[in-house]
């Protein structure tokens, strides 16, 4: 079983080390391609027609100068070109929850989404900040990844992936949440105002707003969530609406 791991926190992040430790407990064919620095909220952004630098740090472990999505593209078009593709892509473990509108913003979930464009099953793992990491966490995560892989027929559909949010402490029970609303980038601060040039900063953080049954409600209760999401963006419009767009005869 070939597993490819990436993230948006960077190649040296503790979360990707946890994911790699877990993956190596279920496979001896684990590859890591991750950004060379933090790329929070990079979403599915790709670097097109500009150079990317890949650096081999260890056998089967590379850093990439680009975005999380670039890591999957470079792996598929360069690293695995002419070779067997990964069987599974694991993204994370992200330093912080990915809930609500993060489904669109998250670089972690951008990794998983890009993997589905290549027809590869993918799981994005995120954990609340300041998690209480314990020595047994890697074994628990390995068991979870293994069980998800064994049950992949129940969740792998074209263009779909899993988003898993973990509470501060493991082990944890699972729930399937509603997708809530807890937007990042809700404000900006003026750092410099020089007439026609204004320098702004959008700070980190969110309100942690929650309603019963959403991701934040379960995480607050110390429970994990799993959500199957997809990139299909076409909700059918009413036929009458389409007819009304056509010029009348």
Point out the annotated binding site for a divalent metal cation.
8-9, 94
Residues 127, 241: Cα–Cα separation, whole Å: 43
Instruction: Please give the DSSP secondary-structure letter assigned to residue 195.
Output: T
Tokens, residue 171:
């082990």
CA–CA gap between residue 31 and residue 42 (Å, rounded): 22
The rounded distance, in Å, linking the Cα atoms of 66 and 35 is 6
For residue 147, give the 3-state DSSP assignment: helix
| DSSP 8-state assignment for residue 74 | H
CA separation for the pair 247, 225 (Å, rounded):
48
Tokens of 211: 């309603």
**Residue 205: CA atoms inside 13 Å, Cβ hemisphere, count?**
6
**Residue position matching structure tokens 């994005």:** 124
């Amino acid at each position: 079983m070939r597993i490819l791991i990436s993230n948006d926190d960077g190649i040296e992040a503790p979360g990707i080390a946890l994911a790699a430790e877990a993956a190596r407990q279920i496979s001896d064919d684990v590859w890591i391609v991750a950004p060379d620095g933090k790329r929070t909220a990079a979403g599915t952004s790709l670097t097109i027609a500009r150079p990317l630098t890949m650096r081999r740090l260890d056998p089967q472990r590379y850093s990439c100068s680009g975005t999380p999505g670039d890591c999957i593209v470079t792996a598929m078009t360069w690293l695995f070109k002419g070779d067997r593709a990964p069987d599974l892509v694991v993204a994370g473990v992200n330093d912080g929850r990915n809930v609500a509108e993060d489904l669109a913003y998250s670089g972690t979930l951008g990794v998983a989404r890009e993997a589905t464009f290549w027809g590869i099953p993918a799981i994005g793992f995120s954990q609340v900040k300041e998690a209480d990491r314990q020595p047994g966490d890697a074994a628990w995560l390995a068991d979870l990844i293994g069980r998800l892989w064994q049950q992949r027929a129940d969740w792998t559909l074209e263009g779909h992936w899993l988003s898993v949010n973990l509470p501060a402490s493991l082990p944890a029970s699972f729930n399937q949440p509603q997708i809530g609303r807890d937007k990042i980038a809700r404000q900006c601060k003026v750092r410099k105002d020089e007439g026609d040039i204004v320098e702004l900063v959008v700070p980190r953080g969110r309100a942690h707003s929650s309603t019963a049954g959403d991701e934040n409600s379960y995480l607050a209760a110390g429970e994990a969530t799993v959500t199957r999401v997809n990139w299909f963006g076409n909700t059918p419009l009413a036929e009458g609406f389409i007819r009304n767009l056509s010029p009348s005869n």
